[in-house]
Chains A and B, each alone.
Chain A
C-alpha cells in the first residue's frame, strides 16, 4: 500500500510559542486514521497544516510522495479537503452552500446530486431552500460536511464533526464515513473523541501538548 500523507518532523511555532513539536506519521491511501488528545493539544492545528491552510515552521508534509509546497494550493485543497470543527455557513440558504463547490469549479449546479447528498446525512430534500439561520447546530455541521463531499476529495480531514450530533445523527454520519472509506476509497483523518469512530480506525494517534504520544496500528 502506498502512503498518501506523510508528516516528517512537523513543528509549528506562533510568536515564539511552540504549538506543535516534531509530529511524524504516515497514512496509507484508503486508510482511516483518528487523532485524539485533550483540548488545546494541537489536533485541529495538525489538520489545518495538512489542509494547507496554515504553514509549518519546520519539517515537511508530503502528499502522494511530494511536498505539499509543490502543489497549487487551490487544486491541493480540492484533493485534501478540511471540514472545520465549528463550521460557519455562508450566504442565505442551504443551497448557497451546496452550490459553492460548483461555482468555484465553474460548473452548473446539479440539484439532484445536492439533494441526494442532503439525504445521505439524514436531511430531507426541502432543506435545500431552508435559510441557514433556521438550522440547528447539528444540521449546520452536516450541511458543512456535504460541501466537502459534493466533489469527492482524495483525503478528507474531519475535525470533531460528530461532537454536536445526537446518537441518531451520529450513526448516519458513521455509516456515511464508512461508505466513503470502504467504497470510495477516500482516505480519512478524523479528530474525534467518539469510541465508535476510534474503533473504525486503522490507525490511532494521540497528541498531547503539541507532541505525539502514541501511534496504534490495528
Chain B
C-alpha cells in the first residue's frame, strides 16, 4: 500500500478540482453551483459513513450482517432505477426482482466456481458493482420501453386489433429494450483496457498489485457484468411490458 499517496491534506488540495468546475459553471451561467456543492457534500458524507461501516462489517465478518448490507444495496439500487421509470406501475418491485435475480445468479456462479469467497470484503463490493451496473441497465430499459410505447402506439394498437396478445404486440419493443439495456456493458467490454482502465483494475494497480494479476480480476468483472446486465434487462423488460396495458388488454 505504500504507493498510495492520498492523505487528508492532498484531498484538500484536490478540492481545487471542484473549484475548477464551479468556475466553469459560474462563467457560463449554467446555474449548477448549488447542485455541484450539494452533490460534493453528499458524496463526502456518504463515502465517510460507508468507509466506517465497511470497516466495521469486514471486521465482524458475520453472515447476517453481510446479507443485510446486500439487501441495503439492492434497495438503494432498486429505488434509483424506479425513479427512472417515469411512472411505470410496480416499477420498484420489478427493479428489485431484477437486481435480486441478476446479483444472486451472478454471485452464485462465482461462489460455486470458487472465484469468490463468501466474506464481506469480497461479497459487498462485488454486490455493489453488480447492482449499480444492473441499475443503469434497468434505467435504460425503462427509458427505451417508455419512448417506444409512446412512439409505436399506433402499431401496437393495430396488432391488438388483429388479435395479437400483449407479448406479441410488444415483442419488437421488448427485444429492442433488452438490447439497449445490455449495450453499454458490451460496448465497454470492447474498449476495456484500450480507452479506460476500469475502476477495480485501476484500484488494484494503484494499490501496487501487479497489472498482470489485476487483469484477471478485470476479466472476471467483465464476465460478471455481462451476465448481470443481461439478466436484469431481460427480467425488467418481460415484467414491465404488461404494465403498459390495462386488465382489458387495452393499451393504457
Contacts and interface: CB of A to CB of B under 8 A. Distances in A.
Q: Do A and B come from one complex?
A: yes
Interface of A: 51-55, 69, 73-75, 77-78, 81-84, 87-88, 90, 100-101, 103-105, 144, 147-148
Given A53-B251, A88-B158, A104-B165, 11 more contacts: A74-B163, A75-B163, A78-B162, A81-B161, A83-B161, A84-B158, A90-B155, A101-B162, A105-B163, A144-B158, A148-B161
A77 B162 contact: yes
A77 B161 contact: yes
Contacts of A73: 248-250
A69 B246 CA distance: 13
B159 A74 contact: no
Interface of B: 154-155, 157-165, 168, 172, 246, 248-251
Contacts, number: 62
Contacts of A84: 154, 157-158, 161
Contacts of B246: 55
Contacts of A53: 157, 160-161, 250-251
Contact of B164 (A82, A88, A100, A144): A100
A90 B162 contact: no
B158 A77 contact: no
Nearest to B154: A88
A53 B249 CA distance: 8
4 closest cross-chain pairs (CB), A and B: A78-B163, A73-B249, A82-B161, A77-B163
Given A53-B250, A74-B163, A78-B163, A104 B168 contact: yes
Nearest to B157: A53
Residue in B162, B168, B248, B249 whose Cβ sees the most chain A Cβ within 10 Å = B162
Contacts of B251: 53
Contact of A81 (B157, B159, B163): B163
Nearest to B172: A90
Contacts of A105: 163
A87 B162 CA distance: 12
B162 A104 contact: yes
B78 to A, nearest CB: 32
18 contacts: A53-B157, A53-B160, A55-B248, A73-B250, A74-B165, A77-B160, A77-B161, A78-B163, A81-B163, A88-B154, A90-B155, A90-B158, A90-B172, A101-B163, A104-B163, A104-B168, A147-B158, A148-B162
A74 B250 CA distance: 10
B159 to A, nearest CB: 7
Contacts of A103: 168
A15 B246 CA distance: 17
B46 to A, nearest CB: 43
Contacts of A148: 161-162
Contacts of B249: 73-74
A88 B154 CA distance: 7
A54 B250 contact: yes
A144 B158 CA distance: 9
A74 B248 contact: no
